[in-house]
Amino acid sequence: MRFAVVVFPGSNCDVDMYHAIKDELGEEVQYVWHDDQELSSFDGILIPGGFSYGDYLRGGAIARFSNVMNSIYEANKAGKPILGVCNGFQILLEAGLLPGAMQRNEKLKFICRQVELIVENNETMFTSLYGKEEKITVPVAHGEGNYFCDEATYERLVENKQIAFRYGTNINGSRHDIAGITNDVGNVLGMMPHPERAVDELLGSRDGLKLFQSIVKSWREAHVVSS
């Protein structure tokens, strides 16, 4: 499987993402600059964290109008897996690929530590290798991870099983402890915690690796005919 790691000016988790795919997951991966238009040769799109365009105006607000976004919309139409982590999640929200918006953390502090997540939906292409309600440990590192959506949107998220992860303990004020959501058809996942930083015991946890393995499993089932 071939992954693209989209790099914006100000991305800073791109190398972690690349490492997770290449060295821990063992799949093909390539950086794609935000000015590039071409993503059609990739099977999965990864939008890493950081501070794209310095978070000017709002996190992700300017990145969503970069050239590469048109190819990301195309990839979405084709149903390809698209994962946005941290600032990548903010970009997906700003781009309207996921519902809701991100605000400053409730206590205004930048939070950088391991947190417990609960896998709410293990029937997505991103979470199929986790158990239902499995508790996993993954780090967060954000100042604006306070997820907001109105009550009607929240009810839709619940009804469509779009909530992939919730925080074990609400760290940032997110509505209903939401840590990660998918779009209604399930090929786009946005999450504030960093699974790419939890792929090796050396990093304190390898609970994030199953997320990437789930993507590969789903892709293989759809694209590789067993001999």
Does 104 bind other proteins (CB under 8 A)? Our answer is yes
Interface pick for other proteins out of 23, 35, 38, 106 (rule CB under 8 A): 106
- Contact region with other proteins (CB under 8 A), list: 45-53, 66-74, 148-156, 205-213: 148-156
Interface pick for other proteins out of 15, 61, 111, 203 (rule CB under 8 A): 61
Does 171 bind other proteins (CB under 8 A)? Our answer is no
Does 19 bind other proteins (CB under 8 A)? Our answer is no
- Contact region with other proteins (CB under 8 A), list: 13-21, 111-119, 147-155, 163-171: 147-155
Indicate if 144 belongs to the active site.
no
Interface pick for other proteins out of 19, 58, 161, 206 (rule CB under 8 A): 58
Interface pick for other proteins out of 23, 35, 123, 150 (rule CB under 8 A): 150
Q: Which of 71, 100, 72 lies closest to 183, judged by CA?
A: 100
Give the whole-angstrom CA distance, residue 63 versus residue 90: 10
Give the residue with the Cβ less far from other proteins, 143 or 204.
143
Indicate if 86 belongs to the active site.
yes
Q: Which of 221, 152, 219, 164 lies closest to 191, judged by CA?
A: 164
Indicate if 223 belongs to the active site.
no
Does 193 bind other proteins (CB under 8 A)? Our answer is no
Residue 146 C-beta: closest distance to other proteins, Å: 7
Based on the number of CB atoms within 10 Å of its own CB, is 74 exposed (0-12), middle (13-18) or buried (19 or more)?
middle
Cβ atoms 116, 167 nearer than 8 A: yes
Does 155 bind other proteins (CB under 8 A)? Our answer is no
Q: Which of 125, 117, 130 lies closest to 83, judged by CA?
A: 125
Does 156 bind other proteins (CB under 8 A)? Our answer is no
Give, rounded to a whole angstrom, the gap between the first and last alpha carbons of the chain.
18
Cβ atoms 172, 111 nearer than 8 A: yes
* Residue keyed to tokens 């499995």: 134
Interface pick for other proteins out of 23, 30, 37, 65 (rule CB under 8 A): 65
Q: Is 25 helix (H, G, I), strand (E, B) or coil?
A: helix
Give the residue with the Cβ less far from other proteins, 78 or 108.
108
**From 27, 34, 86, 149, the catalytic residue:** 86
User: Which H or E run contains 210?
Assistant: helix 209-223
C-alpha neighbours within 13 Å on the C-beta side of residue 183? 19
- For residue 36, give Cα distances in angstroms to 129, 143, 190, 224: 33, 29, 22, 28
Catalytic (active-site) positions = 86, 194, 196
Site residues, other proteins (CB under 8 A):
57-58, 61-62, 65, 93-94, 99-101, 103-108, 146, 148-150, 173
